[in-house]
Every structure is written in structure tokens, then in C-alpha cells.
């Protein structure tokens, strides 16, 4: 497994913010990602939290907008942010919509041509990127959490549920909780996976949780949702995930916040709580 190429690095709260590129076997194209290493990583392997960004974002968005590094440095957590899709796949139509194609990989492996050749974000993250980083950086491969925002919140919840044991903690900010029941999800799941709704359900956090007979994360899941979020009613459906958790006996803290919208001012307002949630689980 070839070492990733360091594109830039920046001293940050006693640690270092880095941006990388590497040749991905799973994607079949160069992929970029970012890593924040806290000062504790100078002396020992540290726990890490994967952050999955939302529609139109890149590997830079969270690191530049969320203000997470100060808290990560205090808690001794590394932060990992992959890009949101392949870049340069050359698929016809991949740049025509902001909610499908480039910047909108939905953290799954496409099964429908022509998307299936390169749009393999689930396998990229779980089978390639995390092992690569555990090999290349001072990260403890047994202590990994995952969280995300919007499309990335969908990704965090579904990857955590689909890969038992890989992630020890999970949380989300304004996640797409039931993509089988919203326009964003219908567009993405049909486009990447075909027309069979039973296949779609395998990438729907609410449907996946409904299949559980016990709590996959007994330490709890944290979700924050702004009530002034213009996407809440039509696209996000946290109440469906809330009901699924109740059915499965999964502890869930779902916090609803008056006045907060869908953007990074919302993310920045609550990111410290999410990092603390992961630090408790990963300590």
C-alpha cells in the first residue's frame, strides 16, 4: 500500500493539519483527504474520528469551517475527512446536478453502470482509507469513531450500522435519516443502485436500525438538528430514525435546536459536543 502524498501541512493548536492525495485502488482515481493530528500524536498513537461532509463539500470544508481542531487538540483526537466523491471519473452527467455525481457520492458503492466503476465511496473509506492511515500515521486502528453532516450524517449512520465493530462511536449533524423516503435519497439511490427499493433499504439508517433486535451502540448515538433547517421536513426525517432506535432499544440523544439552519454555523456550534461524545467512547 503506497504512502499518501503530502500536499500541504499547517501547524494548528500544537498539532498539525495536513492535506493528502493518493492513488486509490478502490476508486481507480486519485483521491484527496485531510487529517488533523493533535499534539498527543507526537508521543503515542491516538484515537481518531472520521468526519463525512455533505453535498458539494470537499475534504477541506470541515477542516476550514467547523473550528474542530482546537477541541480535538484538547481531547487528543485525530480528525479524518475524505472527499465526498471521486473527481475526474468522466461519467456523462456527473457534474450536471449538485445533489448527484461529483460532490455527492452518498458513501455507498454504486452497482449500476457507469457509476459502478469509480463511485465506490463505502469500500474506499472502510477497506482502503482507514487501513492506509493506520499504517502511515500514529493512529490507533482499534479506536475509531465516525460522524458527519447532512449526506455525511447519512454516511456516518449507515457505515456504522453496516460495518459492525469498525467504529466504536457514531454521531451526526442534520443527517439524511431515511433516504428511501426523501427526494435526495430517491435520486441518489436509484441512480447508483438501480430501481429495487429493497436494495435501497440497505443504505437507509432508519431501515437498518429497524432490523436490529438489540442496540448496536449501547453507549448511545448523538444527533443534533436545527429547527430552522429548510431541508428538515422534506429531506431529513430524524423522527423516523428516532422511532427506529426506540424499537431497537438503541439509546439516542436527538437534540432539536430552535433557530439553527443547515449550514456550517450550525455545525460549528455543536461540533465540540460531538467530539466529546466520541472521546468518551474511545477513551
**Tens of pLDDT, residues 255-269:** 999 999 999 999 999
DSSP 34-82: EEEE-GGGGTS-EEEEEEE--TT--TTHHHHHS--HHHHHHHT-EEEEE
Average pLDDT, the chain: 98
Q: How confident is the model at residue 2 (pLDDT cuts 50, 70, 90)?
A: confident
In the chain, what percentage of residues exceed pLDDT 70?
Answer: 100
118, 262, 274, 277: the catalytic one is: 262
Q: Does 114 sit behind a cis peptide bond, omega within 30 degrees of 0 on the bond before it?
A: yes
pLDDT in tens, 88-129: 999 999 999 999 999 999 999 999 999 999 999 999 999 999
Active-site residue (options: 83, 109, 224, 229):
229
Closest CA to 66 of 247, 273, 269: 269
Q: Is 203 a catalytic residue?
A: no
> Mean pLDDT throughout 241-251?
98
With pLDDT > 90 as the criterion, what percentage of the chain qualifies?
99
Does the active-site annotation cover 278? no
Q: Is the pLDDT confidence value at 13 over 80?
A: yes
For residue 3, what pLDDT is reported?
A: 87
E strand or H helix at 242: helix 238-248
Of the residues 150, 169, 171, 206, only one is catalytic, namely 150
Active site residue 229: yes
Average pLDDT estimate for 129-144 = 97
- 235-240 average pLDDT score: 98
Amino acid at each position: 500500500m503506497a504512502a499518501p502524498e503530502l500536499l500541504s501541512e499547517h501547524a494548528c493548536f500544537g498539532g498539525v493539519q495536513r492535506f493528502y492525495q493518493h492513488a486509490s485502488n478502490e476508486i481507480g482515481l486519485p483521491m484527496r483527504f485531510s487529517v488533523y493530528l493533535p499534539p498527543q500524536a507526537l508521543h503515542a498513537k491516538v484515537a481518531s474520528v472520521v468526519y463525512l461532509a455533505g453535498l458539494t463539500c470537499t475534504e477541506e470544508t470541515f477542516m476550514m469551517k467547523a473550528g474542530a481542531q482546537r477541541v480535538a487538540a484538547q481531547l487528543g483526537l485525530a480528525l479524518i475527512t475524505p472527499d465526498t466523491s471521486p473527481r475526474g471519473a468522466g461519467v456523462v452527467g456527473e457534474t450536471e446536478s449538485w445533489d448527484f455525481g461529483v460532490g455527492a457520492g452518498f458513501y455507498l458503492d454504486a452497482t449500476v453502470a457507469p457509476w459502478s466503476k469509480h463511485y465506490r465511496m463505502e469500500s474506499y473509506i472502510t477497506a482502503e482509507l482507514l487501513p492506509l492511515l493506520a499504517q502511515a500515521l500514529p493512529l490507533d486502528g482499534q479506536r475509531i469513531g465516525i460522524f458527519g453532516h447532512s449526506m455525511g450524517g447519512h454516511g456516518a449512520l449507515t457505515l456504522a450500522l453496516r460495518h459492525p465493530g469498525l467504529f466504536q462511536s457514531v454521531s451526526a449533524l442534520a443527517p439524511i435519516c431515511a433516504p428511501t423516503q426523501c427526494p435526495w435519497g430517491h435520486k441518489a439511490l436509484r441512480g447508483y443502485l438501480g430501481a429495487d427499493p429493497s436494495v435501497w433499504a440497505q443504505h437507509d439508517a432508519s431501515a437498518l436500525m429497524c432490523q436490529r433486535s438489540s442496540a448496536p451502540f449501547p453507549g448511545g448515538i448523538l444527533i443534533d438538528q436545527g429547527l430552522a433547517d429548510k431541508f428538515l421536513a422534506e429531506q431529513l426525517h430524524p423522527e423516523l430514525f428516532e422511532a427506529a432506535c426506540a424499537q431497537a432499544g438503541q439509546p439516542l440523544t436527538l437534540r432539536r435546536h430552535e433557530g439553527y439552519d443547515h449550514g456550517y454555523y450550525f455545525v460549528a456550534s455543536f461540533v465540540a459536543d460531538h467530539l466529546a461524545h466520541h472521546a468518551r467512547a474511545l477513551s
